[in-house]
Amino acid sequence: MQESEIIILEGSNFFRQYLVYSILSGRRISIRNIRPYDDSPGIKDFEYKLLSLIDLITNGSEIDINKTGNQYIGHQGSQVSQEACLALPVGFHFVKCYNCYANCTQVDFSPGTLQGGSFEFQCGVERCISYFLEPLIFLAPFCKIAINGNLKGLTNVPDELSVDAINSTWLPVFSRFVPTDDDLYLKINARGFLPDAGGSVTFCSPIKKNLRPVQFVKPGKICKIRGLAYVCKVSPSIASRMIEGAKKMLHGYISDVYITIDQRKGPQGGLSPGFGIFITASTTEGVSYSAEAMSNPKDSQKIQLIPEEIGAEAAKRLLNEIYKGGCTDSSAQALATTFMTLCDKDVSKFLFGPLSFYCVHTMRNLRLFFNHTFKLDELWKLEKKEFDEEKKSRCTGSEDKCLLTCKEGNLQDSEDCLEEENLLHSLPCQIEFTGPAPVSVYFNKENLHHENVRAASFRGHMLLNKLVKVSEGYEIYTVSESNAETK
């Protein structure tokens, strides 16, 4: 493997995105300097489990985990460190190797083909099940076999995205890009809280290789608020107290507030006690905003809030999310931008509230892996000239709303491009990736020193001055002057 073929990445942040985008783009990656200064350098147990999950739903992926010079090779083609033995499926055998990469913490990943299928997976107790659900949602439409997975672990963790939030805010965004009937669902079979977990979730998703372009710029007005107060292995009266605290905060804004109680006993209640409240606000256009607050684990050193305070805190977070606005919850911005990039041909537009830190880095990673960029327009500037009632409804709340535009093959803004007739073109060449995600990139042929190497350009403009190697899995089409394509 040549160094030029690999995308070099640094640190442990966005670990899931790197793996997902590597699979979708078919590009090899090397993640280096993973927590090099920690007392326990390298990847954590939950990241081992994530790699195990990726290995489970793909075929032919090569994973090389190297930690402080020691390396372990599994018989199924995956290479993992010694600490990963407990996290990987039964049947792996290991051979120890030395003198690999001294004094570094690094993961090399070569993507295989997406397989999918039915499986059962233990997520552990370090991270919520949603940590593992997110990459599954990104990859699910492009699998060979529809995903039907049962994930076991923690369903609700303080200050983490919960399974309820995935169900209420992510799946509606997913459905806009992937037309579905009844094939998409996420069911909570049992709730699990820290420290002992015991939760169980079933996720099923359809297959759709070509995503539908979406133009969604009207968030609508809030018409109803629904919620769920969940209690497990504690007094049921706690749920009523949380509902009372939330309603006290929300009734001044809207009257249609209805929160139900989810009380679970026995195996469905998990192995540890806990309680919390999850609230969603729906608009007339089908947009959902969500917020959640819950109790801290029984052994936690954090201050325990009373149920009324937990309900009020969830309501405050929901009002803050409504104020941000946009056509999606802020937690699902990364999903929308990724699917906009992978859409076919037509233009996709999506109205966001203030861009989250995670979404900004998502767009940077999309540019790195797919050479796709977004056109960002501040909504208040676009609608300053013509401000009718319809546009006024979109400008309520935060003024930092952002309209994102993405077009297939959109390598730079059309406003920055020169007129077509004024450009001097060499023989154009279109390169299409035949992997799980349909991606097209345009190049101009150049006679360079290395075979199969092309200088990437679009409409005569160089792309970041980088050389791109045409690797296996790509098909090249040249276009003659008569517009007849030849392979």
Q: Which class is domain 118-329?
A: alpha beta
pLDDT at 114: 94
pLDDT at 284: 94
Closest CA to 51 of 157, 9, 194, 42: 42
Residue 173 tokens, joined: 């965004």
Are residues 304 and 281 in contact, defined by beta-carbon separation less than 8 angstroms? no
Question: What percent of the residues of the chain are helix, what percent strand, and what percent coil, each to the nearest 5?
Answer: 30, 30, 40
Domain boundaries, the chain: 1-114, 118-329, 330-414, 419-486
pLDDT in tens, the chain (487 residues): 444 478 999 999 999 999 999 999 999 999 998 988 888 888 999 999 999 999 999 999 999 988 543 343 333 444 444 444 444 444 443 333 333 333 348 999 999 999 999 999 999 999 999 999 999 999 999 999 999 999 999 999 999 999 999 999 999 999 999 987 678 999 999 999 999 999 999 999 999 888 999 999 999 999 999 999 999 999 999 999 999 999 999 988 888 999 999 999 899 999 999 999 999 999 999 999 999 999 999 888 888 899 999 999 999 999 999 999 999 999 999 999 999 999 877 789 999 999 999 999 999 999 999 988 899 988 877 765 554 555 555 556 778 889 999 865 433 332 333 233 333 233 344 555 545 555 544 444 443 334 444 444 444 444 443 444 444 444 544 443 344 343 4
pLDDT at 102: 34
pLDDT at 155: 96
Are residues 323 and 398 in contact, defined by beta-carbon separation less than 8 angstroms? yes
291 three-state secondary structure = strand
pLDDT at 389: 52
Query: Residue 337: in which H helix or E strand, if any?
Result: helix 333-341
pLDDT at 346: 78
pLDDT at 202: 97
Closest CA to 105 of 15, 233, 183: 15
12 three-state secondary structure = coil
pLDDT at 388: 53
DSSP-assigned states of every residue in 142-168: G-SEEEEEEEEEBS--TTS--HHHIII
* 231-264 burial code (b ≥16 CB/10 A, e <16): bbbeeeebbbbbbebbbebbeeeeeebebebbbe
Q: Work out whether the CA dihedral 300, 303, 306, 309 comes out positive or negative.
A: negative
103 three-state secondary structure = coil
Residue 124 tokens, joined: 């552990």
pLDDT at 473: 47
Q: What are phi and psi of 363, to 5 degrees?
A: -65, -35
Counting Cα atoms < 13 Å in the Cβ hemisphere of 295 gives: 25
Residue 113 tokens, joined: 């083909």
DSSP-assigned states of every residue in 116-132: EEEEEEE--SSSBHHHH
Q: Yes or no: is domain 1-114 CATH 3.65.10.20?
A: yes
Which residue bears the tokens 């929308």? Answer: 336
pLDDT at 383: 63
